[in-house]
Amino acid sequence: MHKVLSMAVITAALFNSSLAFASSETDDIQQQLEAIKKEYGQAIKALEDRLLKAEKGTQLANDKTQKLAVQLEQSNSARTPSSAKNSFNPAISLVLDGRFASFDNDPEDYELPGFSLGNEAGLREKGLSIGHSELTMSANIDDKFFGKMTLAFDEHDGETETELEEAFIQTLGLGNGFTLKAGRFFSEIGYLNQQHGHAWDFADAPLIYRGLFGDQLVDDGVQMTWLAPTDTFLQLGAELLGGSRFPAGGTTSGVGAWTAFADIGGDIGIEHSWQLGLSHWRSDNIKDRKSGGHSHGGGQAETPSFSGDSKISALDLVYKWAPNGNPNHRNFKFQFEYFDRQEDGSVAMLNSGPPLEMTSYDGDQKGWYAQATYKFKPQWQMGFRYDWLDSNNRGSDTDVLAEAGLDNEGLNPQRYSATLEWLPSEFSRLRLQYNRDESYEETDHQLLLQYTMSLGSHGAHQF
């Protein structure tokens, strides 16, 4: 720049002087000027070349630094083995549950006409109580097996009872879609039965579950499932069960019950998904299945005992919707299950007589429930449920049937329920539930306030 400027000054000066001197030396001066012009032109050209070269150099250098930066960034974020994975310790999770219950009727008077209540069936205590607390441990045992155990703690008549609710092992990828499970587990009959109580959408079991299973069917045995290699979910399975627990009951040795089930399911677009299931449970030669019966107060309770064959067939349907397939903010779920139980044998009233009161028994019990839940805000969910039961049991001695609670007293037990839930996070839930319970003649209004909290590792929940 300086050079260009100085050249301009010199040129101007020369011009001025040449004007002053005029004519004679003009040619000379003109020649000199040409020479100077040429000289400076070359100098400028050289300078420009050098500038271009320098620019190219910086470009190259920049590229090199860029590449180095990429490498540096990569080495900075290089893999460091994560030590946080506690994969050798079992995942432990604890579910704490507590409730306040208010009933219009005395919960001790509860009955379900046409159904002999067994297991834990019935209403829980009035007032404040802790519910069903669970401690679960699970882990992959090695590359072939997964194991899980759940201990349940319950309060019954002032005593804390500990129950081994689940203890099973399961194969991991046996191949070709097969999975084998062994131990104590929730049977795959129905839909709700495989889920833990804390994952249910209501504080209590549907009436048909209460009537047939005493809330839930758990047994010891083996289960085999096969998943078809199709885009539509199709699963077939069977269970061989010990059959020593309600509603198989009795002390049969070997295989006392079996189930077979089929599930089919899929998506409709991104927002809708569904699953349809058929299942069948059967136990032949049940011996002495005790249940609660229909107490009339005073004296030693007479306990109904069933012996004979029993079979249950079930149909379940689940449909879920979530906007954009993202259930976190809003979602809807509809669920329907139908059960039918046919029994053939005899019922005896233990502690009666002598002679022992007995009747032949031809049981025909069925029922269904339908429920819908709607999560309308990220932390709020509401739900409605309707239960309906029917029975038509026959026997040689209708008095004994009535005493065993197997006479339907000419009515269909039914119940209406509604809930409102507040879910502060995915680990905690507060639930308010109202039931209009028409299980027996006197309608009961029930109000439940329940908390369910889960501590520890996330358990993945089933569909």
Partner 1 sequence: MFHQWKNTYRLAALLLTLCANTAYAQLNIFACEPEWAALTRTLAGDAANVYSATTAQQDPHHIQARPSLIAKVRRADLLVCTGAELEVGWLPLLLRKSGNAKIQAGQAGYFMATDHVSLLEKPAVLDRSLGDIHAAGNPHIHLDPYRVQQVAEALAITLTTIDPANQKNYRENLQNFNLEWRNAISQWQKQSDKLRGKRIVVSHNNWVYLEHWLGLERLAVLEPRPGIPPNSKYLAKVLAQLEQNPADMILHASYQNDRPALWLSQKTGLPVVGLDFSPSNKNSLIQWFDGVLNQLLRAES
Angle in degrees, 0-180, between the axes of helices 26-76 and 2-21, rounded to the nearest 10? 170
Q: Produce one character per residue of 141-153: b if its CB has 16 or more CB atoms within 10 Å, e if not.
A: eeeeebbbbbbbb
Closer residue to partner 1 (CB): 232 or 253: 232
CA 153/CA 198 separation, integer angstroms: 13
Closer residue to partner 1 (CB): 274 or 434: 274
Closer residue to partner 1 (CB): 253 or 425: 425
Nearest approach, Cβ of 332 to partner 1 (angstroms)?
13
Nearest approach, Cβ of 87 to partner 1 (angstroms)?
8
Phi, psi angle pair for 48, to nearest 5°: -60, -40
Nearest approach, Cβ of 238 to partner 1 (angstroms)?
14
Helices (H), 175-282: 207-213
Query: Which residues, at least 6 apart from 360, have a Cβ–Cβ distance to it below 8 Å?
Result: 345, 346, 395, 396, 397
Asked if residue 359 lies in contact with residue 347, where contact means CB atoms within 8 angstroms, the answer is: yes
Nearest approach, Cβ of 242 to partner 1 (angstroms)?
23
CA atoms within 13 A on the CB side of 316: 22
CA 313/CA 331 separation, integer angstroms: 30
Asked whether the CA dihedral 99, 102, 106, 109 is positive or negative, the reply is negative
Nearest approach, Cβ of 65 to partner 1 (angstroms)?
11
Closer residue to partner 1 (CB): 15 or 178: 178
Nearest approach, Cβ of 406 to partner 1 (angstroms)?
38
CA 210/CA 358 separation, integer angstroms: 25
Closer residue to partner 1 (CB): 23 or 232: 232
Nearest approach, Cβ of 78 to partner 1 (angstroms)?
6
Asked if residue 114 lies in contact with residue 395, where contact means CB atoms within 8 angstroms, the answer is: no
Where along the sequence are the contacts to partner 1 (CB under 8 A)?
Answer: 66, 70, 73-74, 76-80, 82, 84-86, 140, 143, 146, 170-179, 225-234, 263-267, 270, 273, 275, 320, 324-329, 378-379, 424-427, 455, 458, 460-463
Closer residue to partner 1 (CB): 91 or 418: 91
- Beta strand 233-241 with 91-103: parallel, antiparallel or unpaired? unpaired
Asked if residue 375 lies in contact with residue 330, where contact means CB atoms within 8 angstroms, the answer is: yes
CA 243/CA 341 separation, integer angstroms: 16
Closer residue to partner 1 (CB): 24 or 462: 462
Nearest approach, Cβ of 223 to partner 1 (angstroms)?
12
Provide the β-strand partners of residue 368. 338, 388
Nearest approach, Cβ of 229 to partner 1 (angstroms)?
5
Closer residue to partner 1 (CB): 29 or 227: 227
Closer residue to partner 1 (CB): 224 or 301: 224
Residue with tokens 């490498």: 71
Indicate the residue type of 312: I
